[in-house]
Structures are given as C-alpha cells and as structure tokens.
Structure 1
Amino acid sequence: MELELLAQSCEVVDNNRNRRKRMRISNFGETVKRFLLQMTIEPAIFLYTFTSYVHLPVLQAFIYEKAYIAIYKNASDVWSDKEHSNEHTLPVQTLANHTFLLSTVCLLLPSLFVTAVCGSLSDIHSRKRILLFPFIGLILSDINYIIQSIYMKMNIYFILLSDVLFGLFGGFSSILGTMFSFSARLPAENRNSCHIATIEAFIGFGGTMGFIAAGLLHRSCSYLIIFLINTAIHVVILVYLCLRIAKHHDEITAEASENGHHALFVTLTIIQKFGYHFKQLYQTVFKYRTEHGRCRIILSLVAFCLSYFLSSGQ
C-alpha cells in the first residue's frame, strides 16, 4: 500500500513538473510570437547596420587597391615585389586617404540639408515615402560600386559618385533619423520606449556582426561579390519596408492636420516647398532659445561635423 502511494505521489510530481515545463515553453513561444508581431522597422535597421559595418572596411581596402592601380597601372606587380612596395607606398597612401576624405565630404555635406528637409517632410507628407527615400539613393550608390569593382582601372574619383548619390538622398543620418522618428510616433499602446530600446539593440548587434563578417568576406570574396551581397540586402530592406509599413502608419500626423500645415503645403510649388523646409531648418538652428539653447545646438552641430571630418582619411 505504501509503495503504491509512493508511486502515485512520484507520478503526480512528474506530471506537475512536465506541466510546468510545457507552460514555460508555451509562454516563451507566445512571448517570441508577440515580440515578432510588434516589430516593424527593427529587422530593417539590423540589416542596414550590418551592411554598413561590412561596407566601411571593405571600402577602405577597395580605395587603397584602386589607388595602387591608379599609380602603378598594375597592382599585382606592386604586391609581388615587397621592397618596391615599401619604397613607393607613400603616394598610394596619400591618394587613398585623400579619396576617402573626399568621400566623407561628398556624403556629409549634402546629407546635412537633405536630412533636415526629410525630417520636416515627415511631419506633413507620407512617412512611408520618407522612410523609403534614402534607401533608393543607397541602392543607386551600390550600383556605382558594382561598376567600379568590375572596371578596376576606371578613374578612382568615380567612387565619389556613390557618396554624392547617397548624400543627395539623405545618407545614413536620414536613414537613422527617419527610423527613430517613425518608431517614436507609433501609437502609445505599442510602447515607444521598448521600440527605441529594441532599435538601439539591433543597431549594436548588426554592427558587431557586420565587423565580423567584413573580414571573412574580404578574405574569401571579391569586391564585386561583396557589393552584390550588400545591394541584394538593401533591396530586401526596401521591399520589406514597402510590405511591412501598414497604411495606418502612413497617415499624416494629427499635429500637422490640426495646425493646417498640410492643407497649406499642398498649394505650394516645388521650389516653395523646399524654401519652406529650409526656412524651418534655419529657424530650428538659429532661433532664439533660453539658457543659451541656440549656442548649444550650433556647437553640437559644429563638433559633430569636425569629429566626423577629422576621423576620415586617416
């Protein structure tokens, strides 16, 4: 009798243990499912940061090799002779660093103004279109990199065309700014703070994976293959955003409608629209603010531009 009771109690304990285990698995599955359903632009920002951190070291090596070809006409002869390479490496480094510096300038200068205009447009026009806009420039930039990798003896300064194109579409600052802006304006029930924290986590994770993948890809693949992979990922991002951003996310903000900005904006010509947005940019930066607010904004912009400019071409 006692043995039967002991066996029954053991069976009950095992059943309870299995039930709790199934509940934990079920709760975990529901949590993961709910998390995936709440995600909107997080996968896109992960893929973008991944390709960006793959692109940066590969681009530096690509420019350096193009500089060798530009000076010596045949990079293989230079690499095969170590002594000759050491004696003539200074002009190659100079050309490569100057090209990378110009690349930074061509990307930074136009993107500063376009990003500000995109931020103003997102308050009045379609958020979805503003979100997709910089990725179009990114894909056009990738196409130029592909062409440059096919024709390695083409003038090295044609690489700058990619930066000009990307900068005219807002550059990386426009992508990050519009994505954070989009996430911050989601309905309150979607927990905006959680979305922002998730985006920051995906940026860090994507950058880490990108740096790891950059070395592996550079050792095992040609520049053409790497640029093709980046282009394919950027196309996937563009398609994902087109399909994922729902119609209710694309509505005009209530603030713009209440203030009548949208109705007024529709009647303006294209030149007047750009003038309006540049005026908004000027007022944001230079209007009077209490407690030296204007001075702090200007100093922050100058510090960012100087640090970004001086860290390039090193």
Structure 2
Amino acid sequence: MIRYLRMLGMEIPLFLYMLGSYLNYPVFQNLIYEKECLIKYQQNETFCRNVSAYYDDKDIQAAANHFYFISSLTLLCPSLVTTLLLGAATDYWSIKIPLIIPYIGCILGTINYVFQSYFIHTSVYFLLISDALFGLCGGFIAIISTTLTYGVKTSMLRYRSYRIAGVEGAIGLGGTVGFALSGTIREACGYAVTFLIILGLQLLALLYLLGLAKETKFEPVRPDEHTSLISTTGKQLVAVIREFYRVITKSRQFRLLLILNLLAFGLEMLVFSGLSDIQYSYLRYKLQWGDKKYGWFSGLSYGITTAAVLFLYPLLRMKLMSDGMLATLGLFFKMISLFMFAFLQNEVMAYSIAVIVMFNRFVSTGFRAFISSLIDMQEQGKIFSVISLLEGITTLVATSIYNNVYPNTLTFFPGLLYLISAVTLLIPLAIVSTSDFVVRTHRPEVSEGILNSRNDVIDEDGSIEDLSY
C-alpha cells in the first residue's frame, strides 16, 4: 500500500491542499463580509447572516475589498522571498523539508481561522495572522513550486511530463470539488466546523509528506562550515537571477518575440489575478450571491476549464493547431466572457458565461508552451522560474490595482474593470498571434511537431523526447 501511494507521488497531498484551499476561498470571502457587517451594524448577527439584506451596501463592499487587498499583501510579500529561499534550498540541502514547510504555515493559519470564526465578533484584522503565518512559510506559491520541483527531481526524464500533468489534474480536481462544496458545507455546519474540515485535509497532507515523501539519494551540496545558511542561499539566489537575465538577454533567433511574449503573458496574468480578487464581490453585488451560489458557479467553471485543458487542448494541439493558436483562441473567448461579465444581469447569463470560459486555461498553457519553444532545451527550467517570478509580481500589482479601484466604480458602472480588462487583452492577443505566425513561417517544424536538435534529448531508453511542449 505504501509503495502504491509513493508511486502516486505528491499529487495526493497537493490535491488535499487544493481541496482545502478552494473550500476556504469563498467561505473566507463571506466571513470578511460578515465581520465587516457586524462592525457597521452594531454586531447584529441575524441581519449580517442574510446576504440579500446588505448585498448592495457600498460601504461594506469597499471595506471588504480594502481588507482583501491588505490580506493579499500580507500573504504575498513574504511568500515571494520564502519561495525563492525554499527553491534554492532544494538544490543545497533537501527536497523534502522545503516541501513540508509551507504546509506547516498553512495549518497554523487555518487554526487561527477556526478561532476567528468561532469568536465571530472579533476584529476582521485578526484574520491577517493567518496570512502572515502562511506567507512566512512560503504560501501557495511555495506549495506549487516545491511540488513541481520534487516531481522533477524524483522522476526519470521520460516520466516528468506525466508528473506535471498529474499536478495539473490535482489542482483542477481539488478546485472543482472544493468550490462546489464550500458554501454548502459552511451553510450546513458553520464557519468554525468548515475550517476544521479544511484543517483535517491539511493535516492529512502533512502526514502523507512526513511519512512518504523521500529524500534525494544523492548527497546534497553542503555550505562551507564558515558560511551561514542564509548567506549561501543568498549567493545561490543571486546566481539564479543572473541566469534569468542571461536567458532573456541571450542572443537568439526569436529574442524579441520571447521578451514580448513574456510581457504579454505577464499582462494576461495581471488581468486574471485582478479579476479573481474582485469576482466574488462583483457577483455578490450584482446577483446577491453568497459563498454557496458562488461556489457552485466557480466549481462548474473550474470543472469545465480543467476538462478542456486536460482533454480538448492536447487533441487540438495534435491534430489542428499550434500552441500560439490555442493561446489566441483562449484569449478571444476570454475577452467575450469578460464583455458578458461587464454587463451581467441575471443568473442565467452568469451560467452561460461558465460555458464560454472553458477555453480560459488554454491561455496560460499555450503561452507557457509557446515561450518554451523559443529557447534551448537546457534553459527550460530557468524560463519556468522566470514565469513563476513574473506571476508573483503581477499578482501583487493586480491586487493593488483592482481591489482599490473596483469599490470606486460601484456608484456608476460596477462592470468597468471587466470591460477595461477585455480591451487590455487585445495586446497579448495581438502579440501571441503575430509571434506564432512569424515562428511558424520561419520554423514550421515547431507547429508540425517535427523533432529538431534544439529541443530534443535522448532518453534513458534511447528514445527521443521533445522538451518544447
């Protein structure tokens, strides 16, 4: 049994974390609103538990978005630094310990959520303790990155793509189930019990890691006895940043296209992160939705997009289209969905959008694959680290912009940011579609799937494995 579980790798604890995380997200948002309502309406619990009673209260909307902005900063700022430290530690000391540390912070944060939801009348700002604890331990960015690193370092070359696909599946399944059940569980059991369920999932994930995660067989590089851990890690980080710079500035055939597509992908991630921050607030304001209805909608949307990227994307990639084309397709339908969100009127319209967003995850998948096809095989790991760093920076910028601008739009046009975001996506759409045409014109083997010496390596069994996609 233990051997079978080890074969499944880190997909199991990642699924447990993602399930808990997506159970948490709508419930956490609802808790923010309820606590802000209790502050404004003199601790009137009966009133504040009724979403329809104050769904259009602009003061509470603004206060909730302001708090979510502070919450995001408290989580993300330390997690970016810690994630880099943990990433360097996987090369110098251990691959198991950096995998475990973020889960410890997550568990400590959830324990605080249990207390803050049980004592509902406490200040909303005590919730920031959880963000600080999780962020200092790396946050969700570290969980994803250390899981991917573990999978790569403990798998033979021929199986690495399956590990990455397994991570994608674990995230998708956890998101679909977690979103769908979140509000229903909270409504039936209350906040404290819901967070206790989430805590149980996280503890199971930690126990799995402690018992079944294995250390690398090779001896990790040890720092000089006169050099501290932080000093050695810092030197490693400087070296990594220099490598990032070399990847971007290196003279190559499509250097300008590489830079433009990294910028375009960063712009798309900024839009995605910003709209994710305000979507619960927007649907609450427009449709009187609480965490239950929002969870159902998000679970359906997430399930459709996950199925599309796992099954439809590979089929279209093999038979008809290049990665750049699929990213363009995803951006086109994403723009349509954002226009529809901007003028949202009712639940029927909302659920029709859930079908259109099925192509949304084509964007990130297509961009990552297209960008990786522009660089050499030995640079693949570096470029994905660049993208991870870019994602963290754009998330910080997005949460600062969207959470502070959105409350000011409520008095005249709540869907303004959706409209602006849709127009903004014209830029990455133009860049990736033009870049794809240029690359296919000059290197048709990229779109036709013909093996070439730039991106192919010989696997252990003598077969050729393409690392571009």
- Normalised by the size of structure 1, how large is the TM-score? 0.76
- 2:199 is matched with which residue? 231
**Which whole-Å CA distance do the structure 2 matches of 1:170 and 1:124 have between them?**
18
**Which whole-Å CA distance do the structure 2 matches of 1:97 and 1:286 have between them?**
36
Deviation at 1:271, TM superposition (A): 4.3
Deviation at 1:210, TM superposition (A): 0.6
Deviation at 1:61, TM superposition (A): 0.1
Q: Extract unaligned runs of 5+ from structure 1.
A: 1-31
Q: Aligned pairs, how many?
A: 273
Which of the residues 142, 149, 155 maps onto 2:110?
142
Which of the residues 209, 212, 219 maps onto 1:241?
209
**Which whole-Å CA distance do the structure 1 matches of 2:223 and 2:51 have between them?**
67
Q: Which amino acid aligns with 1:306?
A: V
Q: SS where residue 97 of structure 2 aligns?
A: helix
Q: Answer yes or no: is 1:41 the counterpart of 2:41.
A: no
Q: Answer yes or no: is 1:90 the counterpart of 2:58.
A: yes
Deviation at 1:308, TM superposition (A): 5.2
Deviation at 1:60, TM superposition (A): 0.3
Q: Answer yes or no: is 1:306 the counterpart of 2:274.
A: no
Q: Extract unaligned runs of 5+ from structure 2.
A: 267-389, 407-469
Give per-residue Cα distances to partners, 1:114-163, cap 9 Å, x unaligned: 11111111011111101001011101111111121122222211111111
- 1:16 is matched with which residue? none
Aligned 8 A contact 1:104 1:312 in 2: no
Aligned 8 A contact 1:285 1:298 in 2: no
- 1:164 is matched with which residue? 132
- 1:5 is matched with which residue? none
Larger Cα Rg: Structure 1 or Structure 2?
A: 1
Q: Answer yes or no: is 1:279 the counterpart of 2:370.
A: no
Output the aligned Cα RMSD. 3.1
Aligned 8 A contact 2:108 2:134 in 1: yes
- Normalised by the size of structure 2, how large is the TM-score? 0.52
Which of the residues 206, 216, 221 maps onto 1:250?
216
Aligned 8 A contact 2:79 2:141 in 1: yes
Which of the residues 227, 249, 264 maps onto 1:289?
249
Is 287-296 or 277-286 further displaced after alignment?
287-296
- 1:113 is matched with which residue? 81
Change (3 A) 1:273 1:209: same
Deviation at 1:275, TM superposition (A): 3.1
What's the % identity of the aligned pairs?
A: 29
Query: 1:176-215, aligned counterparts within 5 Å?
Result: 176-188=144-156, 191-215=159-183
**Which whole-Å CA distance do the structure 2 matches of 1:82 and 1:264 have between them?**
56
Q: Which amino acid aligns with 2:22?
A: Y
Q: Which amino acid aligns with 1:71?
A: K
Q: Answer yes or no: is 1:219 the counterpart of 2:187.
A: yes
Runs of 4 or more consecutive aligned structure 1 residues displaced over 4 Å after TM superposition: 32-37, 79-87, 284-288, 292-299, 308-314
Q: SS where residue 127 of structure 1 aligns?
A: coil
Aligned 8 A contact 2:109 2:129 in 1: yes
Deviation at 1:46, TM superposition (A): 0.8
**Which whole-Å CA distance do the structure 1 matches of 2:263 and 2:141 have between them?**
17
- 2:22 is matched with which residue? 53
Q: SS where residue 92 of structure 2 aligns?
A: coil
Aligned 8 A contact 1:142 1:227 in 2: yes
Deviation at 1:100, TM superposition (A): 0.9
Please identify which structure carries the higher helix content. Answer: 1
